[in-house]
Chain A
Amino acid sequence: MNIAAEEIEKIYKILNVLEFSESEINNSVKKLGDLISTNIIVEALTEKGYKSKDGNFNYEEIDNFLKENYSEKEIKAITKKVTNDVTTDYFSKILKNISGDKLSIIENLLNSGSK
């Protein structure tokens, strides 16, 4: 299993601890992924001042803009920041009403297998 898969597996386990239904776990993980990926690209486009001229967009235009304006290192930095921000916001929201016992279980899950 790759590193990302181990991390995502933890999210599945946490949502299971929170007693989400199976379909809601899958739905939430997908929505979280969609939200992160969309925010990464919107943030990247916004930060360097991308503006569509006519309200339309296409792959080639976005591809060219990102390639011309960003290094791989910069994209990684944005990816890291946005993912961290969205993840923190999401879990701050959904964990806020749970008991201290469940928080401890989740902390143990997070620490398991990490170095």
Chain B
Amino acid sequence: MNGEKPIPEEILTPEQQIDQEKNPEKLSKDFFEEKQKSVFDKIKNVLNILRPHELEDTAAKFFGTLSTLAGLEMSRIAFLNQEQMINIMGQALTRGEIHAAETLAISVTGMGILIFSEGIKSAIQRIKLDREIKMEKSKKI
């Protein structure tokens, strides 16, 4: 940890102790697995699916379809200029892929500078605060 004092194990839950041993790449994989389950539950609710065995197929279709529909797949739009973006959205609309796709893509493009950096900065502040609290607790033990 580059000379930083580790958090004493006695103030961590067993789950936190396991997490503390994981590197960012592993934590990233855990995050997406967990969130995919959570979004499946939301989809199940929205789509009013009553037959559990149909959930996975439907949810996977919903997940994949909407990410394409919304035109927000970041790896695709990362290096597009405005003209290329309009062309892609034009093609989507020609295929009947809705007004909402355009609205959402424009929203994300226009607001990107606010939302991603601000979200990451919030995460860093949260982590710093969490570390301070844990260190304070460890001093008291």
What is A's interface to B at a CB cutoff of 8 Å? 1-12, 14, 18-21, 24, 26, 28-42, 45-46, 50-57, 59-60, 62-63, 66-67, 72, 75-76, 79-80, 83-103, 106-107, 110, 114
Contact = CB atoms under 8 A, between A and B. Distances in A.
Interface of B: 1-2, 4, 19-20, 22-25, 27-28, 30-32, 35-36, 39, 42-43, 45-51, 54, 58, 62-64, 66-67, 69-70, 72-75, 77-82, 85, 96-100, 103-104, 107-124, 126-128, 130
Secondary structure class of chain A's binding surface, majority of residues? helix
Given A3-B110, A5-B77, A33-B75, A63 B100 contact: yes
Interface of B, helix, strand, loop or mixed by DSSP:
helix
Contacts of B104: 37, 40-41, 75, 79
Instruction: Return the 3 tightest CB-CB contacts between A and B, nearest first.
Output: A87-B119, A91-B123, A4-B112
A90 B67 CA distance: 18
